[in-house]
């Protein structure tokens, strides 16, 4: 299932999903990327952060990003809801 994100908040929610799926806490993940638990919280919950932090987290969770033209897929169902 592709995780389409169009806002920082959606991205944060998606990252959280993947983090939980791999059984890590924010503290665990923060340690792996040498960042604070608070920083992980901030990027997940608020959607604030830098690209540096983002890619550190993606790497730690063994994820990658795909950039593509927007699809017609219902934009509401994408990640904010859960």
Partner DNA sequence: ACGTATTATGCGGAAAAGCGCATATTCCGG
Partner DNA sequence: CCGGAATATGCGCTTTTCCGCATAATACGT
Give the footprint of its own copies on this chain (CB under 8 A): 2-8, 11, 14-15, 18, 43, 47-52, 54-55, 58-59, 62-71
* Closest CB 63 distance from its own copies, rounded Å: 6
Name which of 23 and 71 has its Cβ closer to DNA. 23
> What is the C-alpha separation between 74 and 15, in angstroms, rounded?
20
Which positions from 14 through 53 interact with DNA, judged by CB under 7 A? 19-20, 25-27, 34-39, 41-46, 48-50, 52-53
* Closest CB 32 distance from DNA, rounded Å: 12
> What is the C-alpha separation between 63 and 58, in angstroms, rounded?
5
Reported as type and span, the H/E element at residue 11 is helix 8-21
Residues in the chain, how many? Answer: 82
Reported as type and span, the H/E element at residue 55 is helix 51-60
């Amino acid at each position: 299932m592709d995780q389409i994100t169009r806002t920082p908040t959606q991205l944060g929610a998606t990252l959280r999903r993947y983090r939980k799926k791999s059984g890590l806490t924010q503290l665990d993940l923060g340690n792996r990327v040498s960042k604070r638990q608070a920083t992980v919280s901030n990027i997940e919950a608020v959607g604030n952060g830098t690209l540096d932090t983002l890619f550190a987290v993606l790497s730690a969770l063994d994820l990658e990003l795909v950039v593509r033209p927007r699809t017609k897929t219902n934009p509401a169902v994408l990640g904010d809801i859960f």
